[in-house]
Structure 1
Amino acid sequence: MDIILLIALALAGFYMAWNIGANDLSNAMGTSVGSKALTLKQVIVLAAIFELAGALLFGGNVTGTIAKGIVPLDTIAAINPTIVAVGMLAAILAAAFWITCATFYKLPVSTTHSLVGAVAGFGIISIFYGYIGTSDIQWFELVKIAGSWIVSPVLGASVAYLAFFVVRKLFLKKAEEVAGVEKKFVWLQIATACLMAFAHGSNDVSNAIGPLYAVYSIYGYDGFGPFGLTTALLLLGGVGIVIGLATWGYKVIDTVGTKITELTPTRGFSAEFATASVVLANSFIGLPVSTTHTLIGSVIGVGLAGGISSVNLSVIKNIVKTWFITVPIAALTSMIIFVPLAWFFM
């Protein structure tokens, strides 16, 4: 039965990675398509290269936080490791189902929000079953992560606003032909698109493979074939994310690239530079932040630089609504899924 559970976890992890690519990476790369600096096919190729690079080089830093930084999985595993495996399977499925629903409606949501909420849901039902006490959950870690969700879009908006202000002052206002400046910034935006994919891989691949890492390490797996455990799972997550972008990413790309504000290469560059900077800084310290929140904040920032009227407030309102309901929906769904899974596998 354990081997069936571990295989189910791997498949669920790949499904989660596919969702991350379809929603999260798509909104991260949507500015490049929206400004027409890159085509969708070109974005997919660049993402395949730099997403995997970011995942393999820095993805392990955040994986530990997602894996064991919220719920004391080792304590639960001491009772029965199957409980942890079932709980992580429920969490992955809950988060992935919500992201699939959001992507269908072209809404960019936070995969980090979704997964952290779902893991917290497992923690809450573990308290209900008596596996752990209320004080065993790392509430401070949750508060710290939640704080980053508020700070990251504000930072993204601030850095993007400042970046575009500098670009406009130094280049656009002094240019005899604005179109010529925008054309030159296409190359800079291609560079920041690569940086965005790298930053995304460094932080958000953990949302797919963090729970898997927790379970496989508890069961004593140290690797698969020629790869160590972390490398093998990071590859699984990275490949799944790129496939998600290639197959279903166009839905969210349309929202981020065209619906919030008009994007030009200079604006797209400013938004991507701001987002990548904020995400990479948090990846370096091992803090999972929402690429979605940071990017949307950055796009709003460059939009506000052109005046409030240049930002589509109704689209932003719908996006923010989904942000507020993501954590409770993911947590509740995780608890609901856990009950039949526990009955079946335990």
Structure 2
Amino acid sequence: MNGFHDAANSIATVVSTGVLKPHQAVIFAAFFNFLAIAIFHLSVAATVGKGIVDPNTIDLHVIFGALVGAITWNVITWYYGIPSSSSHALIGGLVGATIPKAGFAGLVWSGILKTVAFIVISPWLGFLFGSLMMLAVFWLCRGQTPSRTDRWFRRLQLISAGAYSLGHGGNDSQKTIGIIWLMLIITGYIDAAATAPPYWVILTCYFAIAFGTMFGGWRIVRTMGQKLTKLKPVGGFCAETGGAITLFLASSFGIPVSTTHTIAGAIVGVGSTQRASAVRWGIASNIIWAWIFTIPATAIMAALVYYLSLLLF
């Protein structure tokens, strides 16, 4: 579901600029999602598995509530074409299901505050890097004809799209790795001091996000690639490169950021360098409201599912 919902983050720009056809784009993105398994350390997985809630205070009812709450929110936002964050839906679900079980003492506030801070920081970093890339390209290509520039950036956008899909796979797949790692700890299958989960967990989660990406959440692709601002290959390259830089930095520090927030910020950054009216600010404001509501909405749903789980099982 994470790959399906967030496929738009990897493919929206490369599809909307016409560099790749939709079916080519999802296969391309899925390949790089999976390739990230060979590149990124499990820093983000460790944050989600041990740095959001205390493994000693929760049980499988909490995990069930967190996952169902996050998946429900993803289905709702996908249906309405709203690019919300799967990452923060998962974090909100964990927090919401933990509080009924263990109270606020079950939360690891340092990890939560770091994650919440990057709700604001990651789109601004995407905005900054995307706009700086666009300004740099304007300066470097100032003597070139539009057709020549377009031809070059159609090729270069394949590199930037691959880089962003790598960052997407490396950050987002690790959140699910962290959840399964947490389940294995609380059920006693592995020791809490273990520095990594079993390799089958890592392999399956990277495969799952790539598999989900191949189905593509097309409703969100239209919002990100067409409604937010009109992108050309040069803009797509700058947005993807700016977003990829942000994701690579966050993953290296073990911060579970939102790939949705990051690419949306980068797209707005690219659009705003042309003129303010190039960005559809009404659409942007709707996206921001979805970001604000994601954690509390999933927390409430996860808490309700937690209580339902206790009744049923």
For the criterion TM > 0.5, the same-fold answer is yes
Q: Determine the C-alpha separation between the residues in 1 that align with 2:48 and 2:237.
A: 30
Contact 1:59 1:205 in 2 (8 A): no
Q: Determine the C-alpha separation between the residues in 2 that align with 1:101 and 1:284.
A: 31
Q: Could you say if the C-alpha distance between residues 21 and 49 of structure 1 is closer, same or farther in structure 2, counting changes exceeding 3 Å?
A: same
Q: Does 1:242 align with 2:210?
A: yes
Q: Deviations over 1:185-238 (max 9, x none)?
A: 11111001111111011101123332122112333446xxxxx94432233222
Q: Determine the C-alpha separation between the residues in 1 that align with 2:53 and 2:185.
A: 15
Q: Deviations over 1:120-175 (max 9, x none)?
A: 112211235xxxxx34422232111111111111111011101000101111x211
- 1:67 aligns with 49
Contact 2:82 2:287 in 1 (8 A): yes
Greater mean deviation of Cα atoms: 38-47 or 262-271? 38-47
Contact 1:56 1:235 in 2 (8 A): no
Alpha-carbon shift at residue 56 of structure 1 (Å): 4.9
Q: Could you say if the C-alpha distance between residues 323 and 144 of structure 1 is closer, same or farther in structure 2, counting changes exceeding 3 Å?
A: same
The structure 2 residue matched to 1:169, chosen from 139, 151, 155, is 139
Q: Determine the C-alpha separation between the residues in 1 that align with 2:248 and 2:154.
A: 22
Q: Which runs of 5+ in 2 are unaligned?
A: 191-195
Q: Does 1:233 align with 2:215?
A: no
Q: Does 1:280 align with 2:255?
A: no
With normalisation by structure 2, the TM-score equals 0.93
Residue type of the alignment partner of 2:66: A
Q: Determine the C-alpha separation between the residues in 2 that align with 1:48 and 1:137.
A: 33
Contact 1:23 1:99 in 2 (8 A): yes
Matches within 5 A, 1:189-228: 189-221=157-189
Q: Determine the C-alpha separation between the residues in 2 that align with 1:312 and 1:44.
A: 26
Percent identity, aligned pairs only, is 29
Q: Which runs of 5+ in 1 are unaligned?
A: 1-18, 77-82, 129-133, 223-227
Q: Could you say if the C-alpha distance between residues 243 and 136 of structure 1 is closer, same or farther in structure 2, counting changes exceeding 3 Å?
A: closer
Q: Deviations over 1:258-279 (max 9, x none)?
A: 1111111110000000001011
- 2:8 aligns with 26
SS in 2 for 1:205: helix
Contact 1:28 1:292 in 2 (8 A): no
Q: CA RMSD in A?
A: 1.7
- 1:255 aligns with 223
Contact 1:259 1:312 in 2 (8 A): yes
Greater mean deviation of Cα atoms: 209-218 or 193-202? 209-218
SS in 2 for 1:287: coil
Size of the alignment, in residue pairs?
308
Q: Does 1:325 align with 2:293?
A: yes
SS in 2 for 1:247: coil
- 1:47 aligns with 29
